[in-house]
Amino acid sequence: TAEQVRAAAGAFRVYVSAGPPDPDGDYVVDHSVLTFLLGPDGLVRDCYGRSRTAEELAKSVRGHMESYEPLPPG
């Protein structure tokens, strides 16, 4: 739902906004340009903007995969 999208955007501190609809009802969505890396536990492990190269992003993801340790229960 629109409310769930707003809540998710707020949780990740990203910007999202639907533009005005055209005569066919279509619209453009303006949004932040970020990629989030989530761990198996659903926690945000890193965030990447457009300035990161593919090589930098891949190195970061590999590093997070190699060093991942689950949080203790509780």
- At 13-50, the pLDDT tens digits run 888 888 888 899 898 888 888 898 999 888 889 999 99
Sequence-ordered list of residues with C-beta below 8 angstroms from that of 32, at least 6 positions apart, any chain: 14, 15, 16
**26 and 39 inside one domain:** no
Q: Are 11 and 23 in the same domain?
A: yes
Domain that includes residue 67, residue range = 32-73
Domain match, 41 and 27 both? no
Whether the model pTM is above 0.85: no
Give dist(CA 55, CA 63) in Å, integer: 12
Number of structural domains found in the chain: 2
Q: Are residues 25 and 37 in the same domain?
A: no
Binding residues for Cu cation: 31
Q: If you compute the radius of gyration of the chain from its CA atoms, what whole number of angstroms results?
A: 17
Residues comprising the binding site?
Answer: 31
pLDDT at 51: 93
Residue 51, CA atoms < 13 Å, CB-side half-sphere: 1
